[in-house]
Structure 1
Amino acid sequence: VKTGLKIGLKMEEGARERLEDEVEALLAIFEGHEDIFVEVAGLDPALHDHAAVVVTVIPNDAPQELQLASTRVELLSGYPERTRPTVDLGCPFFVDRCGEEVAEILEMSDGQECLYQVVQCVAQAVSEGKSELREEETLAREEQLRLERQLEQTLADANSKGKEGGEVVLGRRLCFSHHIIAPSKRSAVVGWALELKLGGCSKIGWPGLIAVEG
């Protein structure tokens, strides 16, 4: 086997060669791809009667929302002439982005190789998703910066009024969160602080922490 994969022994010789050629071409096309990493694994025919090869598509250098997403394509022993691949898009993001298109590709394959089309569809979804998520992050950072500046001004005004009216007593609290990742949540923290006229800072990631003072 040129790919070094252990492809199901129950496959006919011609079908096995077609599958080897398709997998080799796929790996060559997507080697060093900017948006996805393609991993191919042959399945032991002694343990898997029906499946021959599994192809996993993993987003590369992606925002947090996509880092744990992956798509699994299972090529069955009768592929491509008698069976179609089974595709698990892996997460709602891919289902929403390319679920219908992948289903259409599989429906129209009609005995022809379609692995490249499926992987390319996922790669396009990753590319578009990365662009949109990064744009959202940029907008969220800009909004957070605006809110922080507004908050600073509000606190300065409150401090000025406090000096005029008497002693100001400062309190602090530390809030724990399982995680703070989404730009919307980070923006909401700043917005709520502004609404309540409180100051502080937050730690992004796992876990998330919010230090509040006011």
Structure 2
Amino acid sequence: APGEAGGRVERFPATWQELGLAGYDGVVWLRARLPLDAEAQLAAREGRLGLLLGPSSYGGYEVYAGGRLVGSSQGWAGGVVRPVSEVFSLPAETVEDGRVDLALRVRRIGWLSDRRPDAAPVAEVLLGSEPALADRIEVASSRRLRGDLPLLLLSGLCLAAVLNHLLLYGRRRRQREHLWFGLMTLGFALNTLASS
């Protein structure tokens, strides 16, 4: 049950700074009683209630609704966290008087979280129709991918130029400019990939 496994208990949604957890390293329990809007109430009646949690900032989490574990962030079990938004299905029994009691068991990495005290344990908290929330994440992911596509194409062209110049250098070892241009272009390609 939430709060039994040790750690501090705080309210959310709030930033690490608002929670006063600077320097804290370990498990934190965050609690909230969230009201359902009209769309979320309709989704709950139809058995499609979902919870969207934005990317976690430097730590993983487990999600509890109505005292029941409903899921965990990617990488929670292994300790390697991927900061991505996730949608969790909430059973109808978790809704009480038009509200949902939520608890997050967050593994906070102190030295990393303290770099950005204005960040929150999760970027956003939304209740609504599970399919609609999942579509929202998919659309955001597609936009991000489309935004990165030109940079990926540029990196591919640079890598082709690298290969060409290294092959030219392999045939004409005395012309070192091919080697240097190939290495410089490799740097451009890697920088472009890293910045996308």
Superposition TM-score tier, normalisation by shorter sequence: 0.3 to 0.5
Higher relative contact order (CA 8 A, sep 6+): 2
Structure 1 length-normalised TM:
0.32
Structure 2 length-normalised TM:
0.34
The structure with the greater share of residues assigned to helix is 1
Structure with the greater alpha carbon radius of gyration:
1
The structure with the greater share of residues assigned to strand is 2
